[in-house]
Structure 1
Amino acid sequence: MTPDWDSLTRFAIALAYESAAAILPYFRRNAEIEVKDGPVWDPVTEGDRAGERAIRRMIEERFPDHGILGEEYGVKEARSPFTWVLDPVDGTHAFVCGMPTWATLNGLSYAGRPAVGLMNQPVVGDMFYGNPAGAWHDYRGATSPITSRRNVTLEQASIGTTAPELYRSTENQRRFQALRARARLTRYGGDAYFFCMVAAGHIDIAMDCGLQPYDITPLLPIVAGAGGAAAEWTGGDLARGGNVITAGSEALLAEALAVMSG
Structure 2
Amino acid sequence: MMTAIDMQHLTDLAREAGRIALSWFRRTTVTMKGDATPVTEADKAVEACLTEELRRAYPDFGILGEEGADMDKSARFRWVLDPIDGTNAFAAGLPVWGISIGLMKGSSPLAGVAYLPAVNDLFLADLEGPATLNGRPIHVIEGQPITPQSIIMSAADAHLRWDIRFPGKVRAFGSCVAHFCYVAAGSALVGLNTHTAIWDIAAALPILERAGGRAELFGGGPLPLAAAARGEKIPEPIIFGSPAYFDAIRGYLIRK
Shift of 1:61: 0.5
Inter-partner Cα distance in structure 1 for 2:123 and 2:101: 11
Query: TM-score by structure 2 length?
Result: 0.84
- TM alignment of 1:200-219, pairs within 5 A: 200-219=185-204
- The one-letter code sitting in structure 1 at the alignment partner of 2:133 is H
Question: Structure 1 residue 181 and structure 2 residue 181: aligned?
Answer: no
Q: Is the 2:47–2:82 contact (alpha carbons within 8 Å) kept by the matching residues of 1?
A: yes
Deviations 1:3-38 (A, max 9, x none): 64xx34333213202312322211111x24321134
Which SS does the other structure have where 1:16 is aligned? helix
Higher strand share: 1
Inter-partner Cα distance in structure 2 for 1:52 and 1:190: 20
Q: Which runs of 5+ in 2 are unaligned?
A: none
The 1:81–1:255 alpha-carbon spacing in structure 2 relative to 1, beyond 3 Å, is farther
Inter-partner Cα distance in structure 2 for 1:9 and 1:253: 32
Please identify, of 224-233 and 154-163, the stretch whose mean Cα deviation from structure 2 is larger.
154-163
The 1:125–1:26 alpha-carbon spacing in structure 2 relative to 1, beyond 3 Å, is same
- The one-letter code sitting in structure 1 at the alignment partner of 2:130 is G
- The one-letter code sitting in structure 2 at the alignment partner of 1:237 is L
Corresponding residue of 1:150: 142
The 1:23–1:254 alpha-carbon spacing in structure 2 relative to 1, beyond 3 Å, is same
- The one-letter code sitting in structure 1 at the alignment partner of 2:191 is A
- The one-letter code sitting in structure 2 at the alignment partner of 1:162 is A
The correspondence for 1:245, drawn from 211, 236, 239, is 239
Inter-partner Cα distance in structure 2 for 1:109 and 1:257: 29
Q: Is the 2:30–2:88 contact (alpha carbons within 8 Å) kept by the matching residues of 1?
A: no
The correspondence for 2:214, drawn from 219, 225, 229, is 229
Inter-partner Cα distance in structure 1 for 2:209 and 2:222: 18
Inter-partner Cα distance in structure 1 for 2:3 and 2:59: 16
Inter-partner Cα distance in structure 2 for 1:13 and 1:184: 35
Q: Is the 1:18–1:55 contact (alpha carbons within 8 Å) kept by the matching residues of 2?
A: no
Inter-partner Cα distance in structure 1 for 2:133 and 2:192: 20
Shift of 1:193: 1.7
Inter-partner Cα distance in structure 1 for 2:137 and 2:174: 22
Q: Is the 1:69–1:83 contact (alpha carbons within 8 Å) kept by the matching residues of 2?
A: yes
- TM alignment of 1:50-199, pairs within 5 A: 50-78=45-73, 80-131=75-126, 132-138=128-134, 143-154=135-146, 157-163=150-156, 165=157, 173-174=161-162, 177=163, 180-191=164-175, 192-199=177-184
Count of aligned residue pairs for this structure pair: 243
The correspondence for 1:36, drawn from 33, 37, 57, is 33
Q: Is the 2:165–2:252 contact (alpha carbons within 8 Å) kept by the matching residues of 1?
A: no
Please tell me the root mean square deviation across aligned C-alpha atoms, in Å: 2.5
Shift of 1:81: 2.1
Inter-partner Cα distance in structure 2 for 1:203 and 1:68: 32
